[in-house]
């Protein structure tokens, strides 16, 4: 039983990563039999992993139709980005006062790494470095509860934050916004850091329209998916 629980956790992480990176698109069916075959395990840990993901909102368990990657409506997505923006603003405000000298050096190094990826126009590499940059700010808040909440929602929004970076001109804009965040944190200006992070994360107006267009293009580019057997 302990072995199954550990295996279920590993499967959850693997499936979650596939969802976050877009390998599994929103609405994609998650057939237990196919997943068990793919990962060479029994259906028991697969079902447990899907139930765990359902509890986080990443997977929908559909009556008589099996599981599917959760789809977010436009309003829900806006709300989640609004909350994410406020969580990041809080992290930035605290980090500007609480980060150690070593943590500030690490943040600057992460910012420079993002600059290199921006220069190469590598959106995927920039995304991973960008994620590390934000995680350093969460940790720099020195509030474990706040860090946990920010990480959880950030994980949920990963596919959508990643898609934003594929919009023309977004890499350069993101890096410039990071610069404002870094400057404020290094200067110890909490309110400025909070405002800079809030503006960096919130998705409204043209940015939301761009995200929806990128999402539609992404979904249209996914291979055709079939419903689970018996659907």
pLDDT tens-digit readout, 104-155: 999 999 999 999 999 988 888 998 999 999 999 999 999 999 999 999 999 8
The span from the CA of 113 to the CA of 4, in Å, is: 39
First to last CA, the chain: 30
What rounded mean pLDDT belongs to the chain?
87
Torsion, CA 70, CA 86, CA 152, CA 115, rounded to 10 = 100
What residue ranges in the chain does DSSP mark as E strands?
Answer: 29-30, 59-62, 66-69
pLDDT reported for residue 183: 97
CB 127 within 8 A of CB 170: no
57-99 pLDDT, tens digit each: 889 998 777 899 988 778 888 899 999 999 999 999 999 999 9
The span from the CA of 69 to the CA of 151, in Å, is: 20
pLDDT reported for residue 213: 80
What's the number of CA atoms in the CB half-sphere (13 Å) around residue 38?
12
Q: Answer yes or no: is pLDDT of 206 > 80.
A: no
> What's 73's DSSP letter?
-
Q: Identify which has the larger pLDDT, 5 or 188.
A: 188
Q: Identify which has the larger pLDDT, 6 or 181.
A: 181
The span from the CA of 47 to the CA of 41, in Å, is: 11
């Amino acid at each position: 039983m302990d072995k199954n629980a550990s295996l279920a956790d590993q499967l959850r992480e693997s499936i979650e990563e596939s969802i976050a990176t877009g390998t599994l698109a929103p609405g994609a069916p998650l057939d237990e039999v196919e997943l068990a075959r793919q990962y060479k395990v029994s259906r028991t840990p697969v079902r447990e992993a899907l139930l765990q993901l359902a509890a986080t909102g990443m997977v929908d368990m559909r009556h008589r139709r099996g599981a599917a990657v959760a789809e977010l409506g436009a309003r829900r997505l806006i709300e989640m980005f609004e909350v994410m923006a406020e969580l990041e603003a809080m992290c930035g405000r605290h980090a500007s006062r609480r980060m150690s000298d070593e943590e500030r050096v690490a943040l600057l190094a992460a910012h420079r790494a993002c600059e290199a990826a921006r220069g190469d126009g590598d959106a995927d590499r920039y995304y991973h470095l960008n994620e590390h940059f934000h995680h350093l700010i969460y940790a720099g808040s020195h509030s474990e509860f706040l860090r946990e909440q920010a990480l959880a929602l950030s994980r949920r929004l990963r596919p959508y934050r990643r898609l934003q970076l594929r919009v023309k001109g977004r890499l350069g804009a993101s890096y410039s916004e990071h610069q404002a965040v870094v400057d404020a944190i290094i200067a110890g200006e909490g309110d400025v850091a909070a405002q800079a992070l809030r503006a960096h994360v919130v998705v409204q107006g043209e940015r939301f329209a761009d995200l929806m267009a990128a999402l539609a293009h992404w979904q249209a580019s996914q291979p055709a998916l079939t419903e689970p057997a018996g659907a």
